Amino acid sequence: MTVLCGFGMPGVMSSWGFAALHAVAREVFGDYAIISADTIGDLRHFVQKREKKHALLLSQFPEARLSELIMRMNVPFLLFLENPVDAVSYLARSSDQQDLALVRAVSASLACLEPFATAPAALVMRRNDARGMGGIDWLLQRIDQHYGIGLTRNQMTSALQHIGLAVSGEARPLAPPRLEEAAAAIIAGYMPPLGNGADLDPSLREAAEKVLLPLELGRPEMQARTVSWPAWTFFSGDRPGDYLIGETIDLTGGARCLVYGPYFHLPAGHWDVRLLFDVEQDCYGQIFSIEVHSSDLLATRRVCPQGVGSFEAVIPVEIVEPRTAIEVRVLMDGGAIEGRLSRWSADWRRAA
């Protein structure tokens, strides 16, 4: 049984790359199965059935155990990447929506794929690098060589016609196009790489830049930056489902959850989250509980601000399963007759 593995974040590069893997599989295997596997259970289910001899394993959100298995097996695989802001733009166009769910999806993929970025068995194909190289025939040759397949010339030509190679009036192939030209021909919602989110709503662009750019894979200079989760990406505990958009949190009332969310993702590992807020009106020794949740409670800290001004709490957190979104909750432990909080935010840095 032969399985070709390909992984990639949502975007133009993975859309073209997965199409290229299908084109190769058609030429080499003829009949093959598609394993859309994000978990060990998905893969185990296919192996137990074994209905076909050959398969493509494709995933954008592999769980940690699946990533560990692929790297332990040391089988060659492909990793398709691009600028995270371009990825959000692609999702916005292809889904016809502009919502924070798009940033959450890209954050989940980046978090899940991070272990692959430096794996020896990976062939990393980054959009901004690939578009400056040769035509798609050169890219397909790299894929062929990485898997050690040995496509014939006819197989190569046939595969290329499925991923952007045009044919003349006499049914003869024209010169192979470059990646962007080929992608524009076969991918719905295509747009040239801009990297600036010019087509996005300003608030969505801000979230993409602050939440995603520091997670960009294969860019150590970016990953040293702080991952910032702006206040408006969190939800109001007093009005569940409503974002905290430019508001002050009135503490008057009983004990309750004040803030929760924002359900973004982070790669596995040790992190420090720095939570900042302003006390605009003294809350007289009120105690706040800050909790960080994933599938389980990851960390908690109790804070008792004294007076008014800016306050912060730094909490160490270990992320184990990047597929699970992260929720930060700020709870008021007791009732209050006055007091206000504002300028809430959360900044994440990788622990030393």
Average pLDDT over residues 88-116: 95
**Short-list 57, 69, 164, CA closest to 119:** 69
Locate 250 and state its tokens: 């009135």
Average pLDDT over residues 103-130: 94
- Rg of the chain, C-alpha, whole Å: 24
Separation CA 274–CA 291 (nearest Å): 12
Residue 251 per-residue DSSP state: -
% residues pLDDT > 90 (the chain): 60
Separation CA 160–CA 156 (nearest Å): 6
Cβ–Cβ under 8 Å, residues 127 and 11: yes
pLDDT per residue as tens digits for the range 122-172? 999 999 887 667 799 999 999 999 999 999 999 999 999 999 887 765 666
Cβ–Cβ under 8 Å, residues 21 and 56: yes
pLDDT per residue as tens digits for the range 5-26? 999 999 999 999 999 999 999 9
Q: Which pLDDT score is estimated for 36?
A: 80
Whether pLDDT at 104 is above 70: yes
Question: Which secondary-structure segment (H or E) carries 84?
Answer: helix 84-95
Mean pLDDT of the chain: 89
Q: Which pLDDT score is estimated for 172?
A: 63
pTM of the model: 0.92
